[in-house]
């Protein structure tokens, strides 16, 4: 029986993009907010990392912390 594989990269980048959209933030806003917590990265680098979907768990949590996200929605119900 074939197992159905999830698109993990797509799912994780979708979670982060959805949270940015909920808060009305752009990649430039995210880069600025990351800078405020001591994570220096350009808008272009942030955009590329997120669009590739291959960023580290540390980067993911840094982004969530920077934008003030305390609850993460895993499903859009």
Give the C-alpha separation, 37 to 48, whole Å: 20
The pTM assigned to this predicted structure is 0.85
Q: Compute the Cα dihedral for 1, 54, 63, 14 and give only its sign.
A: negative
In the chain, domain spans:
8-66
Give per-residue pLDDT as tens, 17-54. Answer: 999 999 999 999 999 999 999 999 999 999 999 999 98
Task: Look at residue 2 and tell me whether its pLDDT is greater than 60.
Answer: no
Q: Compute the Cα dihedral for 19, 25, 30, 31 and give only its sign.
A: positive
């Amino acid at each position: 029986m074939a197992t159905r594989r999830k698109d993990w990269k797509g799912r994780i980048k979708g979670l982060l993009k959805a949270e940015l959209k909920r808060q009305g933030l752009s990649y430039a806003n995210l880069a600025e907010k990351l800078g405020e917590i001591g994570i220096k990265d350009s808008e272009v680098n942030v955009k590329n990392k997120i669009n590739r979907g291959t960023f580290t768990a540390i980067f993911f949590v840094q982004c969530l912390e920077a934008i003030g996200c305390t609850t993460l929605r895993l499903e859009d119900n």
